Structure 1
Amino acid sequence: MILQFVFLIAAGIVAGLLATIAGLASIASYPALLMVGIPPVVANVSNTVSLICTGLGAIPASLKELKGQWKRAFYYTILAVIGSLIGSSLLLIAPASTFEKVVPFFIFIAGFMLILSGRGTEIKAETQLKRDAEHPTRHRWIQVASFAGIIFVGGYLGYFGAAGGVVLLAILAIITRESFAKYNAVKNVMTFACNIAATALFIFKATIDWGAVLPLGIGLLIGGYCGPLIVRHVNIRILRMLIAIASFILAGYLFVKAYF
């Protein structure tokens, strides 16, 4: 029991670091819960509850960047929370076997998106979309599509969530005219609220392994705090590639486990 507690703290620290570096906390925390014998859906639910701890560390650290942005953050967060409630409800309605079979694809896509985010392709897309946004008609359509995208990503965060933060950053880069630090702070608020909304539903409708949530949450707090300090001293491009490769390996393992 003590070893499991320590293992989950360590997994939480890694997940907190991944959340800071790549927005991929669930790549580490979800498999760790599976490894200690927790069923897939219960593991996913417990993981979402634990991820609230990442927000508890990120929001206070983002207050400087959030100054003057609370109104915008509020509206975007409302859209994301609507999606989160839909996604978490879908998780509870769908059979557990369905969740097991779709998760490998989510993780594979998360790894693929991480590679793209390190190659500058999102910057090219952002530049083109911002150029299009100068045209009134195109601007309206981009805004509508972006708001729909926020709801969709919120739904994904409520259902599983790996790389959801990466997608939100891409959307916010298009619909805001702020620096990365500022819209990343808005993203922190949105993901935090999505996890809280999903947790509120899970408390009444799902099984939560609180014995796993506690050590994982402790680790997420530590990792979330230490992440920015570590990022300053490592090669992010190489680190992103290693994380992506690990994502592909994990996706392959879960695919084999679910289908064979």
Structure 2
Amino acid sequence: MNVEKMESLDDPRLAPYRGLSNSRKYRTSGLLIAESRFLVERLLSSTLAVESILVDDLSKTPDLPAGREATPIYCLPRDQLQELVGFNFHRGVMACGRRPVLSDLQQIAWPDSERLTLIIAAQVVDPENLGSLIRASSAFGADALLIDDRCGDPYSRRALRVSTGHAFKIPIVETSNLLDQLNVARSLDFQLIATVLDESATPLKKETVRHRRTALLFGNEGFGLEADLVAMADRRVTIPMSRGSDSLNVSMAAGVFLYHYGYML
């Protein structure tokens, strides 16, 4: 095990952990930070590259799975670690990993399956909502996510915490041209289904047959899907609600849609 007690906060090897409250820098850096033993272990068990692990006590060193034995582990006393990261961090262990670089659906190694499900998110800006959406997508069997660059950061500390590390388990494609990627999805034989709040749309319970490759589109927390995205869809589907309710949290809605289409013939 490659463990080293750090002598200085200025050590360049600690640079990825410095000033974690400035989360914006990580989206363009190619790095991510996993906090807590649980998330670190999920990162270590994934296929993502892990740059290093940082602990505030050697007793908190996580077990390294096969193939990860050479991962550098740095130890820094808690008071110094908190000074380094810039907030009161008390979980004792974090790790720096490399983000996957996926910007096109054609980069995905799709499972060899007759049925594929793709989740598409447009302008889901809140990192907790995005983290919940990732968790629901992974848990209910989606094969990949496609998000636009107006969404929150799927690998931010908050999103990773809420996703419980499921962002390490499912391919996430980030694009600056969502309309172009919808055309790519269509070329891959995905049927595009816009999830909308519209009484004229098809009620979900009337959807009894699904296309073998189904893509579900979800929009912004406040205003839903923009008109150009809805126009691109093959179908519009809605969840009827009671007591005057006009919307569901995006991750809750995704869970309902995924469960329904997951068990459809």
TM-score, structure 1 normalization: 0.24
Whose relative contact order is higher, 1 or 2, with alpha carbons under 8 Å and at least 6 apart? 1
Higher strand share: 2
Higher helix share: 1
